[in-house]
Structure 1
Amino acid sequence: MRPVDLSAAVTRRLMRKEARGDLPLLACLAVVVLALTALCAWAPAFAGGQEDRALRQRVDATASGAPLISVSTTPEVFGTVPPAVHMATLLGSGTTLTEQFGGPGARHVTIAGGSYDYNAASLVSPRPPGPADTRTELAVSHLPAARAHLRYVSGHAPADHTPLGTPPQIGLSQATARALGVRAGSLLTLEFAKTLGVQSAPPRAHLLVSGLYRTTAAADGFWSGQETLDQPSRYPAEHSAGTVLSVRGLVGLDAADLLAGAGVGGPRVTWQVRADLSGAALAEAHALTGPLSHYSADLSAALCQGSDPITGDLSCHIGGQATGPLLVTDSLSPLLAAFTAQDQQARGLATFAVDAVAAVALATVTVAVRLLLRRRQAHLRLQRARGASTARLVLLRCAVAWPVVLIAALLGWAAGGTLAPTGTSGSPRPATAALTAAVVALTVPLMTWLAVREPRRAGRLRRSRRNLAAGRRVVLELTVLVTTAAGVVALRSQGPDGILGAVPVLVALTVVLVLLRIYPLVLRLVLRRTRRGRGAVGFVGAARAAHDAPATGLALFVLVLTLGTAVFGGLVHRTIDDGLATGAAWTTGADASATVAGTVPSAPGAVPGTRTALQHLYSLDLAGQTDGAVIPQVAVITVDPRQLAAVAPQSPLAAALRSRAAAPTGPRAGTNAPLPSFLSPDLRARERTGGLTATVVPDGQRPVNLVFEPVGTLTAAELRDPLLGPVTAQLAPGTPVLVTTAAAGQPIPPQPSGSTVLLLKSDGPGTAEPAALRSAAARALGPSARIRVRAETLRALRTDGLTQGIGTIYTVSSILAALSGLLALVLELTLTSHERSRTTSFLRTLGLGAKEAGALHFLQLLPLAVASAVGGTLLGLLEPRLMAATLDLQQFTGGPGQPALRTDYALTVALVAGVTALILAAAVTESVLARRRGLGAVLRLP
């Protein structure tokens, strides 16, 4: 017969009994561990998906105006006799270029198409009508992507395969055809630049106008940078008097083949490389960063050998065609670098919320274990008296709690992994989940050991020991204060990271320590007044609250941190939301804006249902009126103050211009009449003589001297006026700005480097729709204008992945922190309710009534509610100010500057009211339970 191990059987029976008794508190531990491990599995994947969406939004917005990655080269047409190039074969060999991508990034790049462009050639015949020009230049391009954004109103598109014996065909816009005086069927004679070392005279070629087209409005920004395909431009000749008429046309695929046969050198061929970021966009983009950094060198090493015998340049071969060196243009890497900075800021903001949730959860675990040990205090003393060792008691507690923690961790990880989105750049964090479960699991033996360790010999508490305890408290508080100060300084200097993200927790701890020092003093002052009163309820309640203040420190910390995190999150959300409206207004300038390259010489016709204001941007070299000191490249903005005031009646810029920049008298501003002007502060600092001048040469006229008379300096509010947003967005940082009246624009000739901005404000509900505003802007400045509508811009900013991700993280973390804080508060009040019930029981035996007992419960918890509300609000308002240098919220909002921090006072009041009501509800609950307790139970209460 096998012997029975009675000790083991007793231990197992004891474990089962204690597990059943501790089931509620073990369930609390399980819920906390399950929630934290589920977050470790779900949150990184969700955040990665938001980052991917935000990056794709930026890539799509940038790619709509220009390709992110392109490879260009010039084919060598003089390597054969006669000169030849087979453009269809060359453009079709783009896959050769993507084969040179190394690593996993190769599968994410494809060739989106190819095009070619010739340098501007001189138009020999026919001679354009209208104003006499020194010469006419025609640029020839093959751009297949343009076909979807234009419509031929006469003739047809140029053929990709020209009929035998006919010249290559070209398509022109209606405006270009009018400027050249040609129509469909006309023959153009062009003189191209000669190739050095090969030709002694410039070659000539003929092009047949196959048709005339009209551009259509494109919402994808295609016409940005392609305006010359629609509108001709004129600019002053460099080495002679007069102007140059510059136009551009579209040719078919084989036009380069025919021009090569006529002796014209090879065009600039460009392949657009598309990055497919449809899945885990951020991870895929980072995988492309490395290959892109040495992509040009890899292409040269694989496709180029030796040098061209004629030009001496590096000789390359693509699809059997000899070409010049390959040039890689990479706009993806700078975009990714800028996005990474924004993403780091977003992660830093998220770290504050995540660390706060972790701190509240740890406090909840601590309170739960304390309550569990308090409930088992009598059993632990009995087991200790019967000879149980400290180690055995600790292991017994661990044997009960650790399986619950392990099962909860596994279930939470499985649940989080199931809910987590797949295919994102974020991945679950098993190490973080394991660390979280380990911290919770180790809290149990640590606190059990502190509760059951061998007590010191009982003795009289001497004054020296009390002084030693007080000294230790002072040292601890000073350590926390110094650590918090150092953390805040480090956070302000280098920004948030994984470690410094815990600084708000330290700030919360500091606030709690200050409150624990202050509010007992306040309660003592209250005691002095209540001691003189008639009733004992107020005095006893204040005395018990002062006595229990150190014991409620953990509950105070949880409440302050939870409330402070929620207030901080509301501040961030309110600041970003208000900043988005400001950023959208700055981007568009008004309800909508339209921008075209070059300066449109006259204002557009009236747009029904809208008010408009026209702004012109010029780049002029100004000189001091007296000393002649030259200030180069000044951005001169001409506006009509009355139009601006009609578009934006509350605008500070419009008000300043109307009051101090009245239009000069006289028929024209070109008669040396001073032009009232506002200067930017940097230009004002360089202007020392009281005025600035500029010399311009209008078309076919004598030079005109413009005199700009400074009447004011642009203030910060005027420089940040949304009316200037679409104009100043085109300027490099630090460019001096001068704002003057529209009269200055009359003698200034059109500049290809300038721009025209039309601001539109709707007058009625029917014209406020984005489609109506787009239509009005296109009618005013043509379909090639880049149109922005404020409602669409604001919607795009609010749906940005990073912005929504921050809002979601703070919402989720605030909810979790509130739930965990509620659990911790309930447990803490349960833990300390014994002393309050004991006091109430004694007073009830002395004749205290039920109403007075309820008031006593209320008064004992009221200081905790007040301290929590004050501390949490103070923390939520103090943290952003301490970390203002690291809160770069402009990256999420746009706009001219950092958005002002705006507290969500409605949310703050609601949170304070909720916390106060929660604590008072606990007092009501305790009072109700005390009323139901009979007198016998009261007398037996230990």
Structure 2
Amino acid sequence: MPSDRVSVLRLLRRRFGVPRGAATVIVVLAAMTALLISAAPRMLVQVTRDEVAHQVGQLAPTTRDLTGTVSAVVPEGGLAGLESSLSSARDQWPSSIQGLVEDGEVAVYTDPLRASPEVLGPTSPFADVQLMAEPDALAHLQIAEGTWPRAWSGSGPIEIALSADAAATMDWPIGERRTIPTAAAPLEVVLTATVRATDPDDPRWLHLPTVLTASVFDDGNRRPVAGSAAWIDPGTWETLDPPGTVIVWYPVDTVGAADIDVAQLLPAIRAIVASPLPLSEGGDLRVSLDSGLVAALGVAVGRTEATRAILAVAAVGPVVVAFSLEVLAAALMVRRRRQQLALLAARGAAPSQLRRLLALEGALLGVPASVIAAALGVLLVPADAGWVPVVLAILAGVVPAAALALALPRNLLAVGREDLGHGRGTLPLLATEALVVVLAAVAVTVLLVRGAGPGALDPLAVAAPLLLTVALALVVVRLHPIPLTLALRLQRRRRGATGLVGAARAVREPVAGTAAVLAMLVAVAIAVFSSVVLATVDRGAVVAAQRTVGADIQISGPYVDADRLEAIRGIEGIAAVAGLLRGDYLPATGPGGRVTAEVIATDVTALAAVQNGMVGAFPAGVADAEVPMQVVPSTAVTADLGGAVTAVSGVSAVGAPSIAEILGLTASSEFVVVGAEDYTTLTGKGFFPRTILLDLAPGYDAAPVVDQVGQILGGTFSVSLLDASTDEIRSSPAVTALRIALLSAVGIAIGLSAVAVLVVAGVTRDARSRVIALLRTMGMGRRATRGIVAWEFVPLGVTALVAGGALGILLPLLIVFSIDLRPFTGGGGQPSLFIDPVLSATLVAIVLAALALAVIGGVLTARATSTATVLRTGED
């Protein structure tokens, strides 16, 4: 008995690793799945951090920091008491917030007060100062000249300090006294120091009134007015005790925001913003804090959650296919070793012993590879996603052990035709397949009804596409023989053996097993799915940018007259120009009554031309200065009036079809759009728009056009570019990760489908080689035998193309109806499904090319088998 065991082990050692191709497939697939399972969650954590840093980094300090202002008298305790209140409030916040925000800062300042000298020079401006006190001003300033102001005793002049730039602009030398008129009695102030900022780029200066320089207002009709804040000692403020504005802020660490779990950070900040902060001991004085972090982190969370759900749909198919191919490769290994395994069984090896030995071999193939791959995933991606993904990645290496053990036939010594009986399903198998289909229908329905869950990865978002994919594959496997049977009947009526034999073999021993169908179907589905999702997200970004900008270029700020509008129209490279003016609120009348609506004045023909081709563009065909007047109401106005507008401010009007919004303009929900001349008729006012929309001619760059517009307008204005707004959405880390991951999923799916074809070719090689060898001895040529091989794979490819294309459309529909994609598109409505024909055709063509190469490889593999070897094996 011991000698038998030794011989069994020796024989296993001799046969270990044969066939090497199948063993290699198992090792590679085990490593790939383990690496994916280990690294993907960590990469999503890193993407979340990068997206948070990206969103927070785009905020200005005044928007990013926790900031609040309140108009009130400083409570008892003065500025020191306010600082203490800020510190106490911060101490009560969660530790995640305390690690993000710095110590609170506070300042208090008055409204602008006119400070007049005894004699004002002919070129000197009026001086408006805002008396301001802050507890630690000297920590951020250095004295350029003079001495820092002392506390006011209640008599004599009040000492102040100005920035050196502000003092020079106001023409105010040190030591000069000026008078501030007040309701009670005039106040005398004296400049005792000029200062400079220790760090002029410190964001704190953005929170305060103009302090480092003086703002100058000059309309050309009177003496200019220079305004600036002037520091006073905090004790002076307590003595004066004037009404003023208290501003508090907590600086936010932009770098630290990326290292905090956003799932904890966002609710904590929302709670702080929602609850007013007490500034006095009794809580009589409170201030509400605000921060753009709430919106920015909301976008970051929305994008990362949507990315996580989409990638779960994209990744679940390849992972399942990889497991299926491991099972298929295990079946190939057992089939190739059947003679050796039968010999072991004949020599007394029990089936349980053989299964344990096969499981041990599978564990040796899969577990080390999965352990190495899981460790590699941890090393490559430093972000921590917990220990669960690593454990699951290692457990993925157990799949080959189970696959090899279960692939052992029940009776190794039985002899029979392997190409018969494949279509007969047992009752338990049919019941299992029916259960999978029912579960898929239930999961998809529930996901569509309630949507993907927020926060951590929703199991339903993984289960629904997985079950849908497997269910569709099972249905395809069951339906696949039907057209093959019809083809066989057709081939029986034709001449030639190639079609007859090929169709007969395809029916008797179809290579369209579940694993092969899954692999090829998923390859096509992922290609279509990726192209549709990418096109939908990209299209949504374009639509969001169009909604925000309204044209290729938007200029906003100054009032623009007709001459300047005409000059802008003459700039080379501008195809159309339209001005938008938010005018007065006027009564609009309709069948159901009357409503006050905001009047938007524009050149309606030019606006339609500027926005031509955009989603939600202003409609063409509306005329200006017609009788009766034509207006374009908002959908809210139409709903309130119960029908079309019949008059505006008593002037008869004809209502055109309503629109939901005006691209590029933030207006009231209740508005009516009228022509520029009609607006003048209604109000008696001129048309001086503050928003200018420019449509670029093809081939022209925006930068030189904006420069020329700036020369015409002069002064300060803001510019928004359609391309820049679109690129901002597309360039976020979440969108970039989504694009890379989806394209990578296509590549993985293509590789798996090619492997599936080759492995299936290996599984059916013996039966195929036997048939081809016999046909060659009967005189069939090589070209005809290649046609027989093609009959095995071409129907499978056609089936996978049709079913995969259908699944590739169903999965994006599942995404659009169950996952919120608005964070990807800048808000607004959920983007509609969009198909890019070029991208979809390109990806599908790549898949088909890969499958064609795999089929050619299968054909070449079949031809490589020696006819003599096959016949000799049959005689043995």
So what's the TM-score if we normalise by structure 2? Answer: 0.79
1:622 correspondence with 2:587: yes
Corresponding position of 1:681: 635
Contact 2:531–2:843 (CA<8 Å) still a contact in 1? no
Q: Secondary structure at the match of 1:760?
A: strand
| Equivalent runs, 1:220-299 vs 2, <5 Å | 249-254=227-232, 261-262=239-240, 264-278=242-256, 280-281=258-259, 283=261, 286-287=264-265, 289-290=267-268, 293=271
Q: Offset at 1:577? A: 1.9
Corresponding position of 2:835: 903
Contact 2:17–2:23 (CA<8 Å) still a contact in 1? no
CA distance in 2, matches of 1:570, 1:363: 25
Contact 1:117–1:268 (CA<8 Å) still a contact in 2? yes
CA distance in 1, matches of 2:295, 2:231: 33
1:727 correspondence with 2:724: no
Q: Deviations over 1:861-883 (max 9, x none)?
A: 22112112222122112322355
Corresponding position of 1:789: 721
| Equivalent runs, 1:301-450 vs 2, <5 Å | 304-305=280-281, 307=282, 314=284, 324-420=285-381, 422=382, 426-428=383-385, 430-445=387-402, 447-449=404-406
CA distance in 2, matches of 1:466, 1:41: 38
Corresponding position of 1:478: 434
CA distance in 1, matches of 2:344, 2:148: 96
Corresponding position of 1:195: none
Out of 18, 21, 27, which is 2:18 matched to?
21
> Structure 1 pair 613/113, CA: closer, same or farther in 2 (3 Å)?
farther
CA distance in 2, matches of 1:77, 1:402: 74
Q: Deviations over 1:386-442 (max 9, x none)?
A: 32222211111122221332211221122222221x3xxx42454334334434425
Contact 2:33–2:396 (CA<8 Å) still a contact in 1? no
Letter in 2 for 1:70: T
Out of 620, 631, 637, which is 2:595 matched to?
631
Corresponding position of 2:448: 492
Out of 704, 711, 714, which is 2:655 matched to?
711
Corresponding position of 2:807: 875
| Equivalent runs, 1:47-86 vs 2, <5 Å | 47-63=44-60, 66-72=63-69
Q: Deviations over 1:267-321 (max 9, x none)?
A: 3232243243446345267347437736998975xx753x4xxxxx63xxxxxxx
Q: Secondary structure at the match of 1:267?
A: strand
Q: Offset at 1:122? A: 10
Q: Secondary structure at the match of 1:884?
A: helix
> Structure 1 pair 445/91, CA: closer, same or farther in 2 (3 Å)?
closer
CA distance in 1, matches of 2:467, 2:146: 71
Q: Secondary structure at the match of 2:637?
A: helix
Corresponding position of 2:672: 738
1:613 correspondence with 2:547: no
Q: CA RMSD in A?
A: 5.0
Q: Offset at 1:535? A: 0.9
Corresponding position of 2:122: none
Contact 1:109–1:276 (CA<8 Å) still a contact in 2? no
CA distance in 1, matches of 2:813, 2:608: 36
CA distance in 1, matches of 2:39, 2:91: 37
Contact 1:560–1:871 (CA<8 Å) still a contact in 2? yes
Contact 2:370–2:397 (CA<8 Å) still a contact in 1? no
Q: Secondary structure at the match of 2:582?
A: strand
Contact 2:735–2:824 (CA<8 Å) still a contact in 1? yes
Letter in 2 for 1:479: L
Q: Offset at 1:679? A: 0.7
Q: Secondary structure at the match of 1:594?
A: strand
Contact 1:865–1:915 (CA<8 Å) still a contact in 2? no
CA distance in 1, matches of 2:645, 2:268: 53
Out of 456, 477, 502, which is 1:541 matched to?
502
CA distance in 1, matches of 2:588, 2:145: 49
Corresponding position of 1:826: 758
Q: Deviations over 1:669-727 (max 9, x none)?
A: xxxxx653111223123226975777xxxxxxxxxx674724312246xx4xxxx3321
Q: Deviations over 1:839-890 (max 9, x none)?
A: 2122122221222212222233221121122221221123223553124333
Corresponding position of 2:466: 505
Q: Deviations over 1:742-781 (max 9, x none)?
A: 2465576999xx9932223445967522x76277359637
Corresponding position of 1:451: 408
Letter in 2 for 1:269: I
CA distance in 1, matches of 2:726, 2:640: 38
Contact 2:816–2:832 (CA<8 Å) still a contact in 1? no
Corresponding position of 1:560: 521
Q: Offset at 1:203? A: 6.7
CA distance in 1, matches of 2:88, 2:206: 29
Contact 1:679–1:739 (CA<8 Å) still a contact in 2? yes
Number of aligned positions between the proteins: 819
CA distance in 2, matches of 1:690, 1:288: 44
Q: Deviations over 1:879-937 (max 9, x none)?
A: 22355312433321237533332234344444544454445445544544555555422
Q: Percent identity?
A: 21
CA distance in 1, matches of 2:292, 2:40: 31
| Equivalent runs, 1:61-210 vs 2, <5 Å | 61-63=58-60, 66-72=63-69, 98-111=90-103, 114-118=106-110, 140=130, 165=157
CA distance in 2, matches of 1:204, 1:750: 42
Letter in 2 for 1:276: T
Contact 2:768–2:862 (CA<8 Å) still a contact in 1? no
Letter in 2 for 1:773: V
> Structure 1 pair 926/343, CA: closer, same or farther in 2 (3 Å)?
closer
CA distance in 2, matches of 1:643, 1:265: 50
Contact 1:599–1:616 (CA<8 Å) still a contact in 2? no
Contact 2:363–2:400 (CA<8 Å) still a contact in 1? no
CA distance in 2, matches of 1:780, 1:761: 18
Q: Secondary structure at the match of 1:451?
A: coil
Corresponding position of 1:462: none
Contact 1:663–1:741 (CA<8 Å) still a contact in 2? yes
Corresponding position of 1:641: 604
1:662 correspondence with 2:616: no
Corresponding position of 2:817: 885
> Structure 1 pair 335/467, CA: closer, same or farther in 2 (3 Å)?
closer
CA distance in 1, matches of 2:238, 2:711: 39
Contact 1:599–1:617 (CA<8 Å) still a contact in 2? no
CA distance in 2, matches of 1:267, 1:682: 38
Corresponding position of 2:547: 586
Corresponding position of 1:244: none
CA distance in 1, matches of 2:772, 2:629: 85
Contact 2:447–2:460 (CA<8 Å) still a contact in 1? no
CA distance in 2, matches of 1:543, 1:578: 48
CA distance in 2, matches of 1:204, 1:826: 96
Corresponding position of 1:840: 772
Contact 1:684–1:713 (CA<8 Å) still a contact in 2? no
CA distance in 2, matches of 1:158, 1:798: 53
Structure 1: any 5+ residue segments left out of the alignment? 127-137, 145-155, 193-200, 212-217, 235-246, 308-312, 315-323, 460-464, 666-673, 695-704
Q: Deviations over 1:44-65 (max 9, x none)?
A: 2322222222222222334456
CA distance in 2, matches of 1:871, 1:573: 21
Out of 27, 35, 39, which is 1:38 matched to?
35
Q: Offset at 1:450? A: 5.5
> Structure 1 pair 366/60, CA: closer, same or farther in 2 (3 Å)?
same
CA distance in 1, matches of 2:404, 2:676: 78
Task: Please identify, of 615-624 and 523-532, the stretch whose mean Cα deviation from structure 2 is larger.
Answer: 615-624
Q: Secondary structure at the match of 2:791?
A: helix
Q: Secondary structure at the match of 2:820?
A: coil
